[in-house]
Amino acid sequence: MEIGDGTLAVGAGLPGAENYAPPLPGPVFAAHYHLAGEASGPYLYGRDSNPTWSLLERAIGELESGAEVVSFSSGMGAVSAVILSQVRTGDVVVLPDDCYLTTRALKERLESYGAVVRMAPTAGDAQLAALDGARLVWLETPSNPRLDVCDIARIADAAHAAGALVAVDNTLATPLGQRPLDLGADFSVASGTKALTGHGDLLLGHVATRVPELAEGIRLWRKTVGAVPGPMEAWLAHRSLATLQLRLERQSANALALAEALRGRVAGLRYPGLPDDPSHEVAARQMRRFGCVVSFTLPDAEAAERFLGSLRLVMQATSFGGAHSSAERRGRWGGDAVEPGFIRFSAGIEDTDDLVADVLRALEGTGKRRDHR
């Protein structure tokens, strides 16, 4: 039976109904399990597997429309697992030069292992020009923080023809916003810290693939380096999936309303859901929801800080995807090619009119210097 995303999210990964049992069993805290005789079975040791992980991984696999999933202790744990487990000395890796800054930080590590790293922008499918001889192509679409989009299916087809694997960082979109595996990617990777779980109270990541051999290699990497999620984090994440569709619908609606309200008021406005955004045409073909992040640029760092300090409903935080709207001046961290006044804004689930009014009110004061008398 074909079901909607809300129905899918509510029931994802739940075990069969059993009298007097909870619909979602509580977290299993175990470093080891009773294990007499030969060492065989699903649960042998706490770094190998855990029943709470298993339910979460099954749930995310259902959201990814049928995939094997390996969960990790953070998004970067998942990112590193794919990149470092698949690349050997002499291999060529293609990375976006505008992806998440900590992903880009792996360039130095890869080169120290003797790999060759080529970098190209996300926009315009520029990575197509760097595919020759590649072992792995990493995509991030929409890119963080500038929100450029590339054509996953087009690049995946070309990469496979060149003998390369394709991995997509799907953190911003989530599986209910975009399904890279359906578009031809070999790996769909995400930080569950962000919109997937949406409450800003845990660190988590996952890798999804439909190739059993690739999944097994990722599990072995997790076991070897020990980047395992805690059972409480896995349980909280699974609990949070039930509201994923509801949260994404409100966040996307808020982001679009905010982007429309900011037209003509700010420079460099970007949101893939805007019909005139440079990314819209490609995004509309491959995304089911356009996400919660809007970016724009204020005149300078001082104006950006005044804007952020004037917001009443929005917290200042270096993350996105939460139920509570957040924003930051991204340039404070360095590493991203953004202007000093560049704002990354994550729309939450507040009432749309309240959120837009708060932003426009705060924006009115950005041109005025504070009185320090």
- What pTM value is reported for the model? 0.95
Do residues 150 and 139 lie in contact, with contact meaning Cβ atoms separated by under 8 Å? Answer: yes
So which residues are the catalytic ones? Answer: 47, 100, 169, 194
Q: pLDDT category, 40, cuts 50, 70, 90?
A: confident
Has residue 111 been placed in a domain? yes
Tell me: do 187 and 127 sit in the same domain.
Answer: yes
pLDDT tier for residue 31 given thresholds of 50, 70 and 90: very high
Quick check: is 370 in a domain? no
Same domain, 107 and 9: yes
pLDDT tens digit sequence for 97-152 = 999 999 999 999 999 999 999 999 999 999 999 999 999 999 999 999 999 999 99
Residues 234 and 250 in one domain: no
Task: Tell whether 373 is covered by a domain.
Answer: no
pLDDT at position 57: 98
What is the mean pLDDT of the segment spanning 169-185? Answer: 98
Contact predicate 263/246, CB 8 Å = no
- What CATH number did the domain enclosing 177 receive? 3.40.640.10
Q: What is the pLDDT of residue 2?
A: 86
End of a domain among 241, 267, 302? 241
Model confidence at 369: pLDDT above 50: no
Domain-terminating residue out of 184, 207, 241: 241
For residue 102, being part of any structural domain is answered with yes
Rounded to whole angstroms, how far apart are CA atoms 98 and 142?
10
| 210 located within any domain | yes
* Residue-number span of the structural domain to which 196 is assigned: 5-241
229 and 349, same structural domain?
A: no
Based on the fold, state whether residues 249 and 337 are members of the same structural domain.
yes
pLDDT class of 367 with cuts at 50, 70, 90: low
Same domain, yes or no: 35 and 125: yes
Check whether residue 204 and residue 319 sit in a common domain.
no
Kindly indicate the confidence band of residue 37, based on its pLDDT and cuts at 50, 70 and 90: confident
Dihedral angle at the C-alpha atoms of 111, 117, 122, 127, nearest 10 degrees?
-170
Strand partners of residue 343: 296, 329
Q: Give the model's pLDDT for residue 4.
A: 97
Averaged pLDDT for residues 181-197: 98
CATH number at residue 338: 3.90.1150.10
- pLDDT one-digit tens code per residue, 243-253: 999 999 999 99
241, 267, 295: which is the final residue of a domain? Answer: 241
The answer to whether the beta carbons of residues 222 and 210 sit under 8 Å apart is no
124-138, 152-166, 326-340, 345-359: which has the minimum mean pLDDT? Answer: 326-340
What local confidence, expressed as pLDDT, does residue 371 receive?
37
Average pLDDT score, the chain: 96
Q: In the predicted model, is pLDDT for residue 18 greater than 70? A: yes
Residues 227 and 341 in one domain: no
Q: Examine the pLDDT at 240 and tell me if it is beyond 60.
A: yes
Q: How far is CA 88 from CA 110, 117, 260, in A?
A: 9, 12, 46
What is the per-residue pLDDT for 1? 74
Q: Same domain, yes or no, for 138 and 218? A: yes
From the list 194, 197, 195, 221, the residue with the least C-alpha distance to 207 is 221
Question: Is the same domain home to 234 and 306?
Answer: no
Specify whether 210 is located in the same domain as 155.
yes
My answer on whether 231 and 321 are in the same domain is: no
- 52 in a structural domain: yes
Instruction: Please check the confidence at residue 372 and state whether its pLDDT lies above 60.
Output: no
How many domains are contained in the chain? 2
Give the pLDDT band of residue 373 (cuts 50, 70, 90).
very low
Judge whether 372 lies within some domain.
no
Is residue 302 situated within a structural domain? yes
Of all residues in the chain, the percent with pLDDT exceeding 70 is 98
